[in-house]
Amino acid sequence: MRSPIPDYLTQVLDTCAPDSGELAEYIPELAAVDPDRFALSLVTAEGDAYSVGDHQDAFTIQSISKPFVYGLALETLGFEAVLDHVGVEPSGEAFSEISLERNTGRPLNPMINAGALATHALVASTPPADSGVERILKLLSSLAGRELDIDEKVARSELDNGYRNLALANLLRSYDVFTGDPRAVVEGYVRQCAVRVTTADLGMMAATLASGGVQPHTGEQIFSRPVVRQVLSVMATCGMYDAAGDWLTTIGIPAKSGVSGGIIGILPGQLGIAVFSPRLDPHGTSARGVEVCERLSRDMNLHLMDAPMVAHSVLRRRREFGDGDTAVTLLVLQGDLQFTNVETIVRDLIDEPIVTPRLVLDLALVRSVFPAGSRVLLEMVRRLHLDGIEVMFIDPEEHFPDPEVGGGYRPVVLESIGELPMDLQWRRGLPG
């Protein structure tokens, strides 16, 4: 069978209105590109990639580099040091506005140019000296899963006309947001923006954020989970500059645009999207890119606030086997154990108490256990034990390698149902 997904994506591109908008003329090299190029890439968190249109064509990443370099700064310097220099509040203003905190001069967020210059300066100032851009290039390459390079012609073209960014950098320097030479910071930042990518690369980079920082093809953990959460939060509130509220309410996913015409969007845990079309709307965002994202969000229910009801999906089965002393209740759990869905199990056990002397919790189909889910589950086990019930875990994935639940009680942990004691006759006939 041929997958219907590329056909659907091609249809999305075909049905988008002929492009309106303007090329980014303040960077002469960007004003010289073919304005009709159009590409779309969708990559799942597992790494299945679907790309259509001009997805192999290269263009400069521009502001889409900002969230990734912000992630690099958080990883290298830690949250506190970064937050001391760059805030996380939406500015509600255009990307190149002087959106600085009164008195301190701290840029409002890392997605606007002032914040991105400060973030770049932070990364560039960490040793080894003078290798900031190389480290950024290496990071972006590992996110894309291939070696990227810098379009020096675009960088030069931006630098030759970069009066505004130079003014911003000088202002930041005057507030001591960074120390060092403002011109060197602008030069480094402009080269960061000139890293050459394809739409397919951007799709992979977005998918890395969707999969909790793990590059889906190489398996490399590039960002830690707390960093991914921070980056996506800032993208959701500030990524689309003065259109951030409009974007979040209508399209509803963290996103970042760039003046060369790219947009990335991330649906956490599910997929990354990248679109490319160079003509821009008045916010400096790809006009057709916005249209594509609106269409995908509508068709595919991507809006984050349309979250699926997860609470009832973890208890797959409850059954009782055997009688008397050897009777067992079996609870088969599945999916992700978060607070809300473990709470439903607790409630079920209160409404319908366990009447057998043993309880087997089968976790073989559980994918992940979140800390609050784990705490509630273990406390539930402790209380069941106090009620005289012996609890056993089937835990081949080792979600609970050593489940000390308090009071010195440790439930038995087994690899499979086949390892249950032989006196539990009910297990005959069940898959081992």
Specify binding-site residues for substrate: 63, 113, 158, 165, 189, 241, 259
**How many residues comprise the chain?**
432
Of the candidates 69, 259, 296, 420, which one interacts with ligand GLU according to CB under 6 A? 259
In sequence order, the 6+-apart residues with CB closer than 8 A to the CB of 414 are 392, 393, 394, 395, 420
Q: How many CB atoms lie within 10 A of CB 56?
A: 11
Which of 50, 177, 186, 189 is flagged as catalytic? 189
Taking the complex as a whole, the smallest distance from the CB of residue 258 to ligand GLU amounts, in Å, to 4
Beta carbon nearer to ligand GLU, 19 or 151: 151
Beta carbon nearer to ligand GLU, 177 or 378: 177
* Contact present, 68 and 298 (Cβ < 8 Å): no
Which of 69, 185, 211, 241 is flagged as catalytic? 241
Beta carbon nearer to ligand GLU, 213 or 265: 265
**Which residues lie across from 336 on neighbouring strands?**
368
Burial of 76 (0-12, 13-18, 19+ CB in 10 A): middle
> For residues 191 and 153, what is the distance between their CA atoms, to the nearest angstrom?
10
Beta carbon nearer to ligand GLU, 54 or 158: 158
Buried b (16+ CB within 10 A) or exposed e, 396-418: eeebbeebebeeebebebbeebe
Contacting ligand GLU within 147-166 (CB under 6 A): 158, 165
Beta carbon nearer to ligand GLU, 62 or 91: 62
The reply on whether position 198 binds ligand GLU by CB under 6 A is: no
Annotated catalytic residue 256: no
How far, in Å, are 320, 341, 407 from residue 356 at the CA level? 8, 23, 22
> For residues 182 and 361, what is the distance between their CA atoms, to the nearest angstrom?
60
Taking the complex as a whole, the smallest distance from the CB of residue 21 to ligand GLU amounts, in Å, to 14
The reply on whether position 284 binds ligand GLU by CB under 6 A is: yes
Of the candidates 59, 68, 70, 95, which one interacts with ligand GLU according to CB under 6 A? 95
In sequence order, the 6+-apart residues with CB closer than 8 A to the CB of 69 are 110, 116, 119, 120, 123, 136, 139, 192
Contacting ligand GLU within 176-195 (CB under 6 A): 193
Taking the complex as a whole, the smallest distance from the CB of residue 90 to ligand GLU amounts, in Å, to 15
In sequence order, the 6+-apart residues with CB closer than 8 A to the CB of 48 are none
Annotated catalytic residue 416: no
In sequence order, the 6+-apart residues with CB closer than 8 A to the CB of 170 are 182
Which of 63, 157, 260, 277 is flagged as catalytic? 63
Of the candidates 145, 258, 373, 411, which one interacts with ligand GLU according to CB under 6 A? 258
Binding mask 237-256 for ligand GLU (x = CB under 6 A): --------------------
Annotated catalytic residue 241: yes
Please state the residue numbers annotated as binding site.
63, 113, 158, 165, 189, 241, 259
Taking the complex as a whole, the smallest distance from the CB of residue 231 to ligand GLU amounts, in Å, to 17
Number of residues interacting with ligand GLU: please give it, by CB under 6 A: 11
CB nearest ligand GLU: which residue?
A: 63
Taking the complex as a whole, the smallest distance from the CB of residue 368 to ligand GLU amounts, in Å, to 35
Please report which helix (H) or strand (E) contains residue 255, including its range: strand 255-257
Annotated catalytic residue 391: no
Beta carbon nearer to ligand GLU, 25 or 34: 25
Taking the complex as a whole, the smallest distance from the CB of residue 259 to ligand GLU amounts, in Å, to 4
> For residues 362 and 332, what is the distance between their CA atoms, to the nearest angstrom?
5
Of the candidates 41, 113, 297, 338, which one interacts with ligand GLU according to CB under 6 A? 113
> For residues 236 and 118, what is the distance between their CA atoms, to the nearest angstrom?
20
Contacting ligand GLU within 43-72 (CB under 6 A): 62-63
> For residues 140 and 69, what is the distance between their CA atoms, to the nearest angstrom?
9
> For residues 121 and 72, what is the distance between their CA atoms, to the nearest angstrom?
12
Q: Which of 124, 101, 99 is nearest to 182 (CA)?
A: 124
Which of 12, 33, 41, 66 is flagged as catalytic? 66
Beta carbon nearer to ligand GLU, 113 or 329: 113
Taking the complex as a whole, the smallest distance from the CB of residue 84 to ligand GLU amounts, in Å, to 23
> For residues 295 and 38, what is the distance between their CA atoms, to the nearest angstrom?
15
Annotated catalytic residue 66: yes
Residues lying near ligand GLU in the complex (CB under 6 A) are found at 62-63, 95-96, 113, 158, 165, 193, 258-259, 284
| Catalytically active residues, by annotation | 63, 66, 189, 241, 259
